Amino acid sequence: MYNVQNKEDKVLSSDTRKEILINLKKRNKTLSELSREIGVSKPAILKHLFLLLSMEAVQRIKNGNRFIYYKITEKGEQMADLIVSVIAALFGSAVVHKLIEIRKEETFELVPARAPEQVPAEAPAKAPKIAEIVTPTPEPVGKYVQPEAAQGFPLEIVFYFILMFLAVFLTIRVLRRKYSS
């Protein structure tokens, strides 16, 4: 019983694992899709997925030899529902929607992607030339920093972290009560 509770605490103590569960509620996704949508590296997502697999909150589905999809299980759905309901019960559904908006804004990339490397001059002439991609030179990030950010943390970010801390803390307490009985 102690190990199950300890694992439950581990699952819900990470914002990334919570985001994985909530993302998988929408549909089955590959590692690449999860990484791109959550904004976390593939190795980090894989580490979280292994823990969720060991908890039977998600399962792997092979699609031939090419893709491996991850699917939320019934146990994972219960966890995801609990996460959303605890946040909604404590702070109202408007706060849940605001947190989703803030999270989407945080994952927006401000600096353009790097251009692909040029084909070396000594490459064979018969090599097919794909389309040329022209991208602007990345500008320093400092240009995009908002003036109020230099004065301290924006109120929304402070509010977001306080809410996430409370949500994690209260979710763990609810799960401990649920699984200790």
21-78 pLDDT, tens digit each = 888 888 899 999 999 988 889 999 999 999 999 888 899 988 777 788 999 999 888 8
Predicted local distance difference test score (pLDDT) of residue 41: 92
Q: Could you tell me if residue 69 is inside a domain?
A: yes
Predicted local distance difference test score (pLDDT) of residue 114: 47
Q: Which CATH number does the domain housing residue 54 bear? A: 1.10.10.10
Q: Could you tell me if residue 139 is inside a domain?
A: no
**Residues 76/24, Cβ–Cβ less than 8 Å:** yes
Predicted local distance difference test score (pLDDT) of residue 59: 92
- The residue segments making up the domain with residue 168 are 2-107+154-180
Q: What's the domain count of the chain?
A: 1
pTM of the model: 0.49
Q: Could you tell me if residue 166 is inside a domain?
A: yes
- Alpha-carbon dihedral 76, 79, 81, 85, rounded to 10 degrees: -170
Q: Could you tell me if residue 24 is inside a domain?
A: yes
Q: Could you tell me if residue 31 is inside a domain?
A: yes
**Residues 175/85, Cβ–Cβ less than 8 Å:** no
Q: What are phi and psi of 158, to 5 degrees?
A: -60, -45
Q: Could you tell me if residue 173 is inside a domain?
A: yes
The set of residues, in sequence order, having a beta carbon less than 8 Å from that of 161 and lying 6+ positions away, is none
DSSP of 4-40: HHHHHHHHHT-HHHHHHHHHHHHS-EEHHHHHHHHT-
Q: Could you tell me if residue 167 is inside a domain?
A: yes
pLDDT at 98 over 50: yes
pLDDT at 20 over 60: yes
Least confident span in 5-9, 122-126, 129-133, 175-179: 122-126
Q: Could you tell me if residue 159 is inside a domain?
A: yes
112-171 pLDDT, tens digit each = 444 445 545 554 555 555 556 555 655 555 555 555 444 555 667 777 777 888 888 888
